[in-house]
């Protein structure tokens, strides 16, 4: 363990987390990433450059606007510190390696999809496309071209499996059961995990979503349950513990 790298990845996570917060709250509303500059949602005053430093305004100004003293949204500091901790965790768990970079990509998706799908019921296309390209190039670099292409095929297979499950669900429940974003996201399941582990991750995601779905049902909260956050969490968890999941599959299914 190297303290320099620990600090570096924690900081990098906080900075990127700040960017993810902007991406996941602006792009679903078709707003520009650059204009308007970040501002206080109460008095509309633009934030100064030093207030854009992750966590800075939260600690120095105790999370209030320096013009109107209203409390600023806690979403941004939470997103910044969570991304920082996920990046630090990836470094401590893997060191700098293939798995580290994949873990960085997946934790970034966890953050982005949690915000955009919970808040707007949208999974953005651009982070999925960037992730797919990044995984392809990482596989080329750390393994070889045929490995990278084979994983694309596994992605396609996983995509169409989810597409078919969605279609069956539509007939059974007589309404859209899986969103387009969920199906697009499932491409990354096959590409990042391989088809067997992708299957394990799908199963895990439904178990993760059940308590939330029941809670919504119990509170007679009729709004749709976003599935993306559970899918992407399962993807990240199964990648993290892929060896353990592999052992379970071997014991129970002999594969
Ligand atoms: Zn203000």
Joined together, the tokens standing for residue 240 give: 């993290």
Q: How far is the CA of 64 from the centre of ligand 1 (A)?
A: 8
**221, 224, 230, 232 alpha-carbon torsion, rounded to 10°:** -150
Q: How far is the CA of 46 from the centre of ligand 1 (A)?
A: 8
The long-range contacts involving 114-118, CB below 8 angstroms and separated by at least 24 positions, are 114/229, 114/232, 115/20, 115/21, 115/24, 115/25, 115/75, 115/79, 116/24, 116/25, 116/27, 116/28, 116/228, 117/181, 117/226, 117/227, 117/228, 117/229, 118/226, 118/229
* 3-state DSSP of 100-123: HHHHHHHHHHHHHHHHHHHHHCCC
Q: How far is the CA of 40 from the centre of ligand 1 (A)?
A: 5
Q: List per-residue pLDDT tens for the chain, 255 residues long.
A: 689 999 999 999 999 999 999 999 999 988 888 877 888 878 888 888 887 777 777 777 788 888 888 887 888 889 999 999 999 999 999 999 999 999 999 999 999 999 999 999 999 999 999 999 999 999 999 999 999 999 999 999 999 999 999 999 888 887 777 889 999 999 999 999 999 999 999 999 999 998 888 888 787 666 677 899 999 999 999 999 988 878 887 887 776
Q: How far is the CA of 122 from the centre of ligand 1 (A)?
A: 28
Q: How far is the CA of 8 from the centre of ligand 1 (A)?
A: 31
Q: How far is CA 139 from the centre of its chain?
A: 20
Whether 199 contacts 231, CB under 8 Å: no
User: What is the per-residue pLDDT for 128?
Assistant: 97
User: What is the per-residue pLDDT for 72?
Assistant: 79
Q: Which residues surround ligand 1, an ion (CB under 5 A)?
A: 40, 42-43, 65, 67-68
User: What is the per-residue pLDDT for 84?
Assistant: 96
Closest CA to 119 of 218, 32, 226: 226
**Which 3 state secondary structure label does DSSP give 47?**
coil
Q: How far is the CA of 49 from the centre of ligand 1 (A)?
A: 15
Q: How far is the CA of 71 from the centre of ligand 1 (A)?
A: 8
Q: How far is the CA of 52 from the centre of ligand 1 (A)?
A: 14
Judge if the upstream peptide bond of residue 36 is cis by omega within 30 degrees of 0: yes
Q: How far is the CA of 39 from the centre of ligand 1 (A)?
A: 8
């Amino acid at each position: 363990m190297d303290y320099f790298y620990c600090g570096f990845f924690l900081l990098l996570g906080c900075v990127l987390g700040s960017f993810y917060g902007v991406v996941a709250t602006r792009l679903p509303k078709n707003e520009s990433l650059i204009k308007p500059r970040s501002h206080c949602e109460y008095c509309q005053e633009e934030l100064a450059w030093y207030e854009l430093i992750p966590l800075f305004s939260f600690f120095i100004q105790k999370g209030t606007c320096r013009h109107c003293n209203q409390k600023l949204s806690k979403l941004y500091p939470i997103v910044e510190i969570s991304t920082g901790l996920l990046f630090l965790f990836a470094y401590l768990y893997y060191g700098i390696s293939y798995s580290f970079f994949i873990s960085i990509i997946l934790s970034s998706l966890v953050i982005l999809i949690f915000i955009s799908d919970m808040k707007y019921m949208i999974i953005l296309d651009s982070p999925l496309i960037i992730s797919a390209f990044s995984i392809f190039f990482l596989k080329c670099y750390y393994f070889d071209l045929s490995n990278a292409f084979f994983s694309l095929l596994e992605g396609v297979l996983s995509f169409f499996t989810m597409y078919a499950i969605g279609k069956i669900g539509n007939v059974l429940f007589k309404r859209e059961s899986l969103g387009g974003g969920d199906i697009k996201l499932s491409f990354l399941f096959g590409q990042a995990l391989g088809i067997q582990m992708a299957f394990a991750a799908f199963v895990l995601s439904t178990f993760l979503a059940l308590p939330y779905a029941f809670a919504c049902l119990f509170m007679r909260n009729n709004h749709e349950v976003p599935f993306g956050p559970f899918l992407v969490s399962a993807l990240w968890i199964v990648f993290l513990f892929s060896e353990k999941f592999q052992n379970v599959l071997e014991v129970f299914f002999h594969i």
